[in-house]
Chain A
Amino acid sequence: MKRIVVHEEHCLGCRLCEVYCLVQHSSSRDIIKAYRQEREQVMPRVLVEESGPISFALQCRQCSEPSCVEACPSGAMHRDERTGAILCDEERCVGCWMCIMVCPAGAVRQNLAGTRIASKCDLCYGSEIPACVAHCPNEALTYEEVDLQEGGA
């Protein structure tokens, strides 16, 4: 399946990926409205990790054998059959945060209200290319066909 590949050596740490991820997952999908009116409800599902000059954007690795799906007691975490992306069905999520505990990449986060799972990359469900990849100014994120090894993260 197609996955987001992170090229640390080209990441500027500008965090435009976070900006556009937030916009993509806002209800208005308008950058100014998303920041001005929805800032309390929506958060980016990608996070730029930084240490000195080294930085990279981290979002769900879409593991081939995802621990979060295995650990989820309510069946909210599941693999989408059409895209292969691992999604969280927020209707079924009970907010136990097991997924957060088991995620090897630290790529799942609580939503802003802290009750449910929100911060989970869905590969911008339905779009051809994820927003973070499309808007990375230095091609530090690419969207490529990558086969992970069994159990690989």
Chain B
Amino acid sequence: MALSLAEASFVIDRDEARCIACQVCVRQCANDVHYYDEDTDRVLSDTASCVGCHRCVSMCPTDALTVRQNPLEFRPHANWTGDMLRGIYRQAETGGMLLSGMGCDRPYRIYWDHIVLNASQVTNPSIDPLREPMELKTYLGAKPEKLSFAADGALVAEEMGPQLELEVPIMFSAMSYGSISFNACLSLARAARASGTFYNTGEGGLHPALYEYGANTIAQVASGRFGVHLDYLNAVAALEIKIGQGAKPGIGGHLPGEKVTRDISRTRMIPEGTDAISPAPHHDIYSIEDLRQLIYALKEATYYEKPVSVKVAAVHNIAPIASGIVRAGADIVAIDGLRGGTGAAPTIIRNNVGIPIELAIAAVDQRLREEGIRHRASLVAAGSVRNSADVVKAIALGADAVYIATGALVALGCHLCQSCYSGKCNWGIATQDPYLTKRLNPNIGERRLVNLLRAWALEIKEMMGGMGINSVESLRGNRDHLRGVGLNQVELDALGIRAAGY
């Protein structure tokens, strides 16, 4: 066999003074990095397959382990970086596309970190959320065309389409049963119910045991139509047509056959062990008119009782695309930005296709307002919302709510090793291996997700209170409360915000 030029990504430092050879690391590493040597009664490590997930580090009872990036350096070259060389070495050996999990890891400008929030000082009062009511409740769905008044001046209640009621403007975005484990799905479902929000089935169908969480479920209908049947559509609170995903706009999905276990095959309605391939396009959608047909087919199938969302990846012409989606009859438009995550994508697509969500959401909100159709659909921003300030900024840029997925998985233990596609997730999240899925206890998972949403809600209330705003309604599209730092005029114009100091 020819020499491999792929070097280990990480090195493992084992403090021999602290290692007690208990072998917990050996048992916990699905990549077989650690092994016990009986002759010397020592635990050793073969770093070649270490993905840097830190499972061994977290579990080591004596803190004897550290995982570091391999310090091996190439001669510095600003253009031919180590990453570039390593990619070529691997492709020259395998002849294949390089795969990655999670979102784009390239250092494109993160606009969240160049936007700052306002706070009240002297001329207007801030609000203390501990003493005064602070409303985070959000309704997603089409709003009435106009306000009507009776002859006596009283407001006449307009008929309103179906709405999703969110206690916090944060939902868990689409992750399928298959891409993530049942325990991960169950954690999300339970947390959504406990927090008064929604999780999303992805294209994985709905496992029979999750029907009881239907009132907090958004069911996806994607290009492979996996697991879609009438009971599925009617068991949930809302439907979502998935056109695209921020991590891999323009391409489909592929769940390898080894992950299609008996339970997953039943849930997706495909034979056990077969690859689940979602085509890049919906083969029945080649235009806005076709999309409208599917939206209304779903509305018909569910008696117009559920809002229908359309999820697209943020791409160059996202504003007119979103306008078309709203005109096609969608009640919710979910936009997934460049940095949105995935279980598996070609690395080259993940790192090079799409636009950041901050720019997309600002452009879409602006366009829909200009066209006078902003009220006809709610906007959901997705694609790397990392903390509560990102949520506030997304809403102030024009979103009604946000989707989080990477953040939710991090709460469940994910360490962003970006190896979801390997099926060997040591944290029991992106795997179907029965040895590994047990590692995620849904009781703990639910608790951690509920804690995360609670903590973010508290922070959002503090930030809103500081701005003198007592309702998320008043924050939405309120770009006056945003200023840009270190952005050029083109970027400021695209975001529709002013520079700090102005």
Contact = CB atoms under 8 A, between A and B. Distances in A.
B59 A16 contact: yes
Given A19-B61, A31-B61, A31-B62, A14 B438 contact: no
A19 B441 contact: no
A19 B61 CA distance: 8
A146 interface: no
Contacts of B441: 10, 138-140
A35 B438 CA distance: 28
A79 interface: no
Contacts of B443: 10, 139
A53 B435 contact: yes
A7 to B, nearest CB: 8
A95 interface: no
Contacts of A82: none
B439 interface: yes
Nearest to B447: A139
Contacts of A137: 59
Interface hub of A12, A31, A140 (most chain B Cβ within 10 A): A12
- B interface, size bucket: 20 to 34
A137 B413 CA distance: 12
- The prevalent SS among residues of B at the interface is loop
Nearest to B23: A15
B27 A14 contact: yes
B20 A11 contact: no
Given A31-B61, A137-B59, A139-B443, A19 B22 contact: yes
Given A32-B62, A53-B435, A138 B444 contact: yes
Contacts of B20: 19, 31-32, 35-36
A9 interface: yes
A84 interface: no
Contacts of B59: 14, 16, 137
Interface in A22-60: 31-32, 35-36, 52-53
A144 to B, nearest CB: 14
Interface in A78-119: none
B61 A16 contact: yes
Name the interface size band of chain A: 20 to 34
Interface string A110-151: 000000000000000000000000010111100000000000
B28 interface: yes
B208 interface: no
B500 interface: no
A11 B433 CA distance: 14
Given A53-B438, A139-B444, A35 B23 contact: no
Contacts of B434: 52-53
B18 interface: yes
B24 interface: yes
A16 B20 CA distance: 12
Contact of A19 (B18, B24, B28): B24
Contacts of A36: 20
B18 A32 contact: yes
Contacts of A20: 61
B444 A35 contact: no
B383 to A, nearest CB: 31
A35 B435 contact: no
B16 to A, nearest CB: 11
Nearest to A140: B441
Interface string B355-370: 0000000000000000
7 contacts: A15-B22, A15-B24, A15-B27, A16-B59, A16-B61, A31-B61, A138-B444
